Each structure stands twice: as C-alpha cells, then as structure tokens.
Copies of this chain bind each other. A is one copy, B any other.
Amino acid sequence: MADVAAKAGVSRALVSIIFRGQPGASQETRERVLRVADEIGYRPDGAARLLARGRSRTLGVMFTVHQTFHTDLIEGIYPEAERLGYDVLLSGATKGRSESQAVEALLSHRCEAVILLGPDSEPAYLDELGRRTVAVSVSRRVPQAHVDFVHSAEGKGVRQAMEHLLELGHRRIVHIDGGRGPGSSERRRAYRAAMRRHGLESELRVIPGDHTEESGIEAGRLLLAERDQGHPLPTAVLAGNDRCAWGLLMALTRAGVDVPRDMSVVGYDDSHLAHLMPIGLTTVRQDAILMAEHAVRFAVERLENDALEPREAVLDPKLVVRGSSGPAPEASA
C-alpha cells in the first residue's frame, strides 16, 4: 500500500479511501491510483483491514455436509447476505468434526455472527455461544438459549399432511420420526395429536428414525419383514423428512411395493430431492429461501443494534401434493 501511495504520489490514507470506494478523492487521482495498484499487483490485505476496522462484516454458517436441505438454505443465505453487505463463510460439521469445532473455526475467523443450520449441540453450549456472539438457529428450537430462531410451523405442516392422507381414506398411518433431528419432536407431537383427534389412537405408531436415507431404508425393511410375518403394511407413512422418505421409497420399490397404489408416502422439507424421485414426492414444503433470508436478517439486525433481544420467526409450511400419495387401498378395494 505504501508502495502504491509512493508511486502514485499520494498519501496512504488516500489510497485507502480509494480502495474503499469512499468519496473524498478526485476522479483523476482515483484512476491514477487504481492504475498504479494494478501495475504493482497490489490487493488490500483482509486481516489488516479487519483489524483496523474492528468489524469484519462476515457471517459464519455452520451446516451438516450431507444434509441436502442445508444446501438449499445456503443458496438463500448468500444473496441476502450480499444484499446487506455481508460476507459469508461456511464451516461444515462432519463425522469427524463436531459442531463446536465448526463453530470455533468460524469465530476464530472473525465472523461477527453465526447461523446454525439444524444444530444438534447441547442447549447449554448454544446458550453460551449466543451470549458470546450473535447466533441464529435454523430449524432447531433451543428453548432457554439466547439465540434467534427461524423455523416453520411444524405442527401446521404435519396437520396438512395428515388431513390430506385422511381425506384419501388412510387410517393405518405410521410416522417414522426424525429422532433428535431438528423439528422432529414437534412433528411427532402433531402426528400423535392428529391421530387422536380422528379417533385413530389404536393405529398410532411411531417408528424411531432420523433424518437420513438410511433410517428410511431401515424402516422400510422393518415394515416389509412384518408383512412377511402376516402383519398388514400401513397404508400410509409420514416420514421425518425427505431423505427418510426417499430411503423408504427405495426400500419399497426394491421389494416391489407400488407407491402410491399399495402405500402412500409423505415427506417433509420439499428439498430439491423431492422432484427427483421416480414419482414426485408429496411433501411439506418449508421455504428454504425465505428461512435463509430471515436468518440472515435476524443476525444482521442484531449485529447492528445490540440492544435487540433474540427473536423467533415462524414460517407457514405448505403441503405439496405430488405422485407419492394416493387413495388408501382399503377405500378403493
């Protein structure tokens, strides 16, 4: 920078002004400085800039590498952050890399806030994190923690899905739950409530699972094994999320069970996966773009006004009916 200033015959301060695109330099000087900088191959140093500025204007995003819905969310985070003048840094949690490691990496790179996509850490850790910095949790409710929270109204979503199945004449509706996955407990609760409300308490059944394809495959195997022992298949399954629904669909297709003729399957998320199934997946749409935008805005607003208390945004999910759901076999028989 000093070299540029010297060669262009101006002060370092002016070079700084020009590189920040601030007013206070004549057009003429501006061009000259930029030209000289280009010749020398000068590019401003981020770390020094950060240090001097005191602010990084960078948001960190923690996500789980293989979670497809997260990549949908990330697609929404970038443009909104850019619009608000923030940079985005990603840090993935993987099998060998815990969420807290991923978060610490972001923090040590001076992210001013962290957006956590479906975090699975201890509430105590999240609370501490939320007090140390600005944190936003997407999908995962953390009751007592000092973090913003963006999610969709899981209950409403499940209710719509259940109404849909019930209208199609389904009674034996099983739920594969999402285990400790974000939103799972709410979905599970809503499923139970819906079954009870319709007097189907005796049919109520929750198969433990999680938010992966494997758990869908697993549940499929279980159901098929039961069928082979003479128990009837459920006529419909409400899966914990799209990936789980997908795994289930795979297992069923493999075994020659026709969806939706023999069984209806409903997912949750409407991730881009949902379009890519042999039959389109009927699923509850969470608007990833909208959720991402809310998360970014929460973070930025709280960054810009630290008196703000953490808030909660609840978005309305919407059932999307595609090919994987149809009339119940008994009803049509």
Contact = CB atoms under 8 A, between A and B. Distances in A.
B78 A92 contact: yes
A123 interface: no
Interface stretch (A43-51, A156-164, A325-333): A43-51
B213 A109 contact: no
A89 interface: yes
A250 B279 CA distance: 8
A231 interface: no
Given A47-B50, A47-B56, A250-B277, A66 B105 contact: no
A276 interface: yes
Nearest to A67: B71
Interface of A: 41, 43, 45-48, 50-51, 56, 58, 65-66, 68, 71, 74-75, 78-79, 82, 87-92, 94-97, 105, 107-110, 132, 213, 217, 246-247, 249-251, 253-254, 272, 276-279
B46 A276 contact: no
A238 to B, nearest CB: 20
25 contacts: A43-B107, A45-B110, A46-B107, A46-B108, A46-B110, A48-B51, A58-B109, A65-B71, A65-B75, A66-B68, A66-B71, A74-B92, A75-B94, A78-B96, A79-B97, A82-B97, A88-B91, A89-B90, A89-B91, A90-B90, A217-B276, A247-B276, A250-B278, A253-B253, A254-B279
Chain A interface main SS type: helix
A41 to B, nearest CB: 8
A153 B88 CA distance: 35
A106 to B, nearest CB: 9
Nearest to A214: B276
A162 to B, nearest CB: 27
Given A47-B110, A246-B276, A276-B247, A105 B88 contact: yes
A213 B273 CA distance: 9
